[in-house]
Amino acid sequence: MLGAFANAFRTPDLRRKLLFVLLIIVIFRLGSQIPTPGVNTANVQSCINDVQDNSVYSLINLFSGGALLQLSIFALGIMPYITASIILQLLVVVIPRLEALKKEGQAGQTKITQYTRYLTLALALLQATGIVALARSGQLLQGCQKDLLHSDGVSTFLVMVVTMTAGTAVIMWLGELITERGIGNGMSILIFTQVVATFPSSLWAVQRARGWWTFAIVMAIGLVIVAAVIFIEQAQRRIPVQYARRMVGRKMFGGSSTYIPLKVNQAGIIPVIFASSLLYLPAMAVQFNQNRNPQPGWVTWLNEYLVGGSHPLYMAVYFALIIFFTYFYVSITFNPTEVADNMKKYGGFIPGIRAGKPTEDYLSYVLSRITLPGALYLGLISLIPLIAFAVINANQNFPFGGTSILIMVGVALDTVKQIESQLQQRNYEGFLR
């Protein structure tokens, strides 16, 4: 593998791409540390050190690399873009106009990308307004009595909102630069960067809380989890497809064999994000009603059972939601009817299965069976941080599990594959021998 890295940096154009990606990552991380104008940096850092439970914002804070709670210019991170992309993916299935755009090829995809950008800015404006309003009222970091802003005037409020929204636009631009001039998907690499940025602090929190022996055990378990995640992420069911020969003009086409790769984890991390976002609603309801006196009974019940992540009921609901959203997302992203029609149109068939409706039924059958282990895998991986928090009192952003490990392994595998393909084009041996 070290030789493959040396070959990658020995090739001039590949070296330029890798160095360009590293430059963008450095700029991205610098922006995550620069405070937004009007923020009292000393008080913010003091509050972050004093307040331990920030579970309401843990997912957004994870995708921002810890920049959210520091109120930096890149505080919103990549989360608005992720949300906008998911919304557009869902709308493509619902709105015929967007579905028609998707089928137009590159021109239609360009328009959908433009809509995603506009929606990202709108969501960023909305999220920035909410975050700054919470910081202004002192509710962003619960339990902190210090002023997070130098001034609570309207001008400071507007400057902070505009700055954070502009920061999201810059992040989108940086991601697109990586995609165009670097290696890999730019947005995925930026998400990877932000998740990895929180990794050392999360590990060190385990060592400080439980000592070196527990730290060593956590590292050993973490390596096993990473190996298991790599194995599942690479696993796929290959459905063979045979294309019949046909005459077009004077040329003979077809007669080839290929396959349809159905991944075990066909949905990626989207179900985990959906489930986490849905379970933020009880936490937000508790946060906005905790100052009421007397406190309503439903607020007490939510705070005890569905907030914090340590109660078995919370874990059971979280697990069930992940399984539900896995099946839901796979059903809207993979259409067996469309795949079967395309195969029939171009003379393709699955050996032993008739074209048309039987092929559609067979694909649906295989997809439903293969989605179950993928859903169980996502649920178990996502429960690891909650179990670790309950057992060893580790940070809730426990590194070896949940969204963080899925992102790191998935993006790393995809980037390595792209470097591998470029090395093989230049007659070098890649990473995988």
Mean pLDDT, the chain, rounded, equals 79
Average pLDDT over residues 116-144: 82
Q: Give the CA distances from residue 189 to residues 9, 22, 196, 202, in Å, rounded to whole numbers and listed in that order.
A: 19, 10, 10, 20
- To which residue do tokens 């947005």 refer? 187
The predicted pLDDT at position 269 comes to: 81
* Listed residue (85, 89, 87) closest to 99, CA to CA: 89
The mean pLDDT value for 106-114 works out to 84
User: Residue 54 — very low, low, confident or very high, per pLDDT cuts 50/70/90?
Assistant: very low
Q: Averaged over 78-84, what is the pLDDT? A: 84
**pLDDT classification of 253: cutoffs 50, 70, 90:** low
SS3 labels along 297-338: HHHHHHHHHCCCCCCHHHHHHHHHHHHHHHHHHHHHHCCHHH
Cβ neighbours of residue 52 under 8 Å, at least 6 residues apart? none
Using CA atoms, how far apart are residues 325 and 331, in angstroms rounded to an integer? 10
pTM: 0.78
Q: Is residue 326 a contact partner of residue 375, using CB atoms and an 8 Å limit?
A: yes
Confidence of residue 55 (pLDDT cuts 50, 70, 90): very low
More confident residue, 52 or 297: 297
How would residue 78 be classed by pLDDT, with cut points 50, 70 and 90? confident
Q: Which domains does the chain have, with CATH numbers?
A: 1-197+407-433 (1.10.3370.10), 198-400 (1.10.3370.10)
CA 111/CA 96 separation, integer angstroms: 14
Which amino acid belongs to residue 130? G
Closest CA to 64 of 118, 28, 22: 28
Residue 393 has pLDDT above 50, yes or no: yes
Query: According to the model, what pLDDT value does residue 48 have?
Result: 66
